[in-house]
Amino acid sequence: MPVLTTLPPLLLLVVVGVSGVSKLFDLGSAATTMRALRLGALPARPTVAAAASAELAVALGLAFGTRELFSGAAVASLVVTLAFLTVAVHAQQQHSTDECGCFGRVASTRVGPWMTARNVALTVLAAATLAGSIVDPPSIALLPRTFGDPASMLALAVTGAAVAVIGASFRPDSATATAAAELPLLTPDGTVVVPRQRALRGRAQLLLFVRRGCAPCEALIERATTDLAELDAIDVRLIAAVGDDQRLATDEPIHTDLSGRFAESLGVPPERPAGILLTTTGDRLLPFAVGAEETNLLIDTVVAALREQRLD
């Protein structure tokens, strides 16, 4: 039995099949997924539903297709995986490090080098599948052929092990993020504060990361003295890494990250301004806000929520 028409399509159909089904069962998170991938301009639910449908069509074609149908599914698999790879590279170039929810509720994947590497691997599998369909188009569908032959059952076991290895990269590094939130900050009055500890004591933390010489950051610092002042139910912290907090006035409410690693270890990308909300459970409320527009939208959302809470 040709290897190229067995192992690569088996692995591919399991991954895209699980991915497609998971997306369809978690369409409520479509907007979060699109923001994480920096595709917020596209309609969230229709785009995610279309991607999931394409994945399921590929999986079914690889599983039950023969000859021309299998070849068509192989071509489609390469198109789909190349599209996913392009989106992953785009999101990484836009400094996204959010959990994209690419596998719905089954697993969470952080945007970054590992996600891009995984998409490269899937693209290679799709290319190998297409090559196999050209060299020797199967006359018997993949699943019946696999379950009817002992050698193919061994191939299926190998495929399952490979899926397990790939699946290990889907798990978010929440433990690392939690440890990062324990890093201390130097407050404007010279005391030391640990934001996560404050959050666990019942004060949610709105963390806004700024840098000197950045016009939107200067506007955000100015805003901190106006409508941010009404956020008395939570702690608002303007944060700059050591070296980035050259204060022009002593009354500016900027916290200094003495380690220089607070934002990075939380997974916050280097673009400034950026923002994240730590809830009273000590967890990050994803996705991150990156850039002036998203950061101000995060602030507006928090302000609106607190105003509504007061009315209630």
Mark whether 164 and 231 lie in a shared domain. Answer: no
Residues 96, 147: one domain? Answer: yes
Residue 273 has pLDDT above 60, yes or no: yes
- pLDDT value, residue 237: 92
Residues composing the chain: 312
Q: What does the pLDDT read at residue 238? A: 92
- In the predicted structure, residue 3 carries a pLDDT above the cut 50: yes
pLDDT (0 to 100) of residue 205:
92
Predicted pLDDT at 133: 86
Contact 209, 275 (CB under 8 A): yes
182 and 158, same structural domain?
Answer: no
pLDDT score for 218: 87
| CATH number of the domain encompassing residue 260 | 3.40.30.10
Q: Identify residue 275 by its one-letter amino acid code.
A: G
Domain's final residue, options 172, 204, 228: 172
Check whether 142 has a pLDDT greater than 60.
yes
Which domain range does residue 281 map to?
176-311
- Distance separating alpha carbons of residues 216 and 296, to the nearest angstrom: 10
What local confidence, expressed as pLDDT, does residue 175 receive? 43
pLDDT in tens, 207-219: 999 987 788 888 8
Residue 134 has pLDDT above 80, yes or no: yes
Peptide bond into 273 cis (omega under 30): yes
| pLDDT on residue 181 | 56
Per-residue pLDDT at 114 exceeds 70: yes
Task: Indicate the residue among 127, 152, 172 that finishes a domain.
Answer: 172
Task: State whether 14 and 130 are in the same domain.
Answer: yes
The residue from 107, 140, 172 where one domain ends is 172
Pair (43, 138) in one structural domain: yes
Instruction: Please report the DSSP string for the chain in residue order.
Output: --GGGTHHHHHHHHHHHHHHHHHHTTGGGHHHHHHHTT-TTS-HHHHHHHHHHHHHHHHHHHHH--HHHHHHHHHHHHHHHHHHHHHHHHHHHTT--SB--TBTTTB--BSSHHHHHHHHHHHHHHHHHHHHHHHS--SS-HHHHHHT-HHHHHHHHHHHHHHHHHHGGGS--HHHHHHHTT--EE-TTS-EE-HHHHHHTT--EEEEE--TT-HHHHHHHHHTTTGGGG-TTSEEEEEEETTS---SSTT--EEEETTS-HHHHHT--SSSSEEEEE-TTS-EEEEEEEHHHHHHHHHHHHHHHHHHHHH-
Residue 193 and residue 276 in one domain: yes
Q: With pLDDT > 70 as the criterion, what percentage of the chain qualifies?
A: 80
pLDDT in the model for residue 170: 47
Answer yes or no: is pLDDT of 172 > 60.
no
Q: pLDDT tens, 38-51?
A: 887 888 889 999 99
Q: For tokens 């990062």, what's the residue?
A: 180
On whether the CB atoms of residues 41 and 69 are closer than 8 A, the answer is: no
- 25 and 165: one domain? yes
Distance of CA 10 to the CA centre of its chain: 26
**In the numeric block, which tokens belong to residue 220?**
């955000």
Please write the tens of the pLDDT for every residue from 52-108. Answer: 999 999 999 988 888 899 999 999 999 999 999 999 999 888 877 777 778 876 666
Q: For residues 262 and 297, state if they share a domain.
A: yes
Whole-angstrom CA distances from 35 to 38, 87, 90, 108, 222 are 5, 12, 12, 15, 27
**Residues 6+ positions from 15 with CB-CB distance below 8 Å:** 122, 163, 166
171 or 223: which leads in pLDDT: 223
181 and 120 fall within a common domain: no
Packed helices 215-223 and 291-311: angle between N→C axes, nearest 10 degrees? 10
Higher pLDDT residue, 274 or 307?
274
φ, ψ for residue 7 (rounded to 5)?
-65, -55
Same domain, 59 and 181: no
Tell me which residue has tokens 């090559």.
Answer: 131
Q: When comparing pLDDT for 57 and 139, which is higher?
A: 57
Report the domain count for the chain: 2
Q: Please state which of the ranges 30-39, 168-177, 214-223 shows the lowest mean pLDDT.
A: 168-177
- Residues sharing a CB contact under 8 Å with residue 281, sequence separation 6 or more, in sequence order: 199, 200
Mean per-residue pLDDT of the chain: 80
pLDDT at residue 137 tops 60: yes
| Domain identity same for 17 and 156 | yes
Mean pLDDT of 240-258: 70
Contact (CB, 8 A) for 6 and 14? no
Is the domain of 159 the same as that of 199?
A: no
